[in-house]
Amino acid sequence: MMTRSQSGLAALVLSLLVGACIGRAPGSASPSAVATTASAAATTAYPSPVASATPDPEPTLAPPPVATLVAGAVLEPGEPGSWTWAGGSNAAPWLPATALDLVEIAAGPVEIDLAGVAVESWTARAAAAADVAGASPVPLGEGAGPPAFQAPAAGSWVVSVQVVFANGLGDASYYWHLEVR
């Protein structure tokens, strides 16, 4: 036979078991109240990300002007290397011949057209196409105003022209892989 304290204990255990089976303990909030509270807390504490209808902005930094090599009838745009221009910049090592298009020119005068942008100073040099790091360049010329110099001797060369633009606009290096005949 069960004593009064044992029957009270049995009722408590039975109550806990029944409560566990239906998802709540005696005296706890109803399941819908718990779900509503948890849902509100999740919404408040961790809002869902909202997709933006605004596209990412387009880059606004433009590269320096195109530098076109003019040698007789040959007009060839150069490959920009390092530059600073219009608040932007790019750093690049010497560009090897393998990274450039081959352009055939005759020996003689070479000019660099910078689309009307004024030039404060320039330096031109060349390295043998096999010199991938430009470690042994030979000078071709330097000056102020539009770049103009003589092509290197017959052979395969990487020609680099460094330009400082007038009025503090910036500077740039340009490269060409030339086969001089």
What is the domain partition of the chain in residue ranges? 4-45, 68-180
Q: What is the pLDDT of residue 51?
A: 52
Q: What is the pLDDT of residue 49?
A: 52
Class of 68-180 in CATH: mainly beta
pLDDT tens track of the chain, all 181 residues?
A: 545 545 454 444 445 444 444 444 445 444 444 444 444 444 455 555 555 455 554 545 788 999 999 999 999 999 999 999 988 999 999 999 999 999 999 999 999 999 999 999 999 999 999 999 999 999 999 999 999 999 999 999 999 999 999 999 999 999 999 999 9
Both structure tokens of 146: 């539009």
**Residue matched to tokens 């340009």:** 174
Give the Cα separation of 140 and 55 in Å (integer). Answer: 48
**Looking at 20-154, which runs of residues are DSSP E strands?**
68-71, 74-77, 79-85, 88-90, 102-105, 109-113, 119-128, 138-143, 148-150
Give the Cα separation of 181 and 20 in Å (integer). Answer: 93
**H or E segment to which residue 41 belongs:** helix 31-45
Query: pTM for this one?
Result: 0.67
Both structure tokens of 99: 């990274």
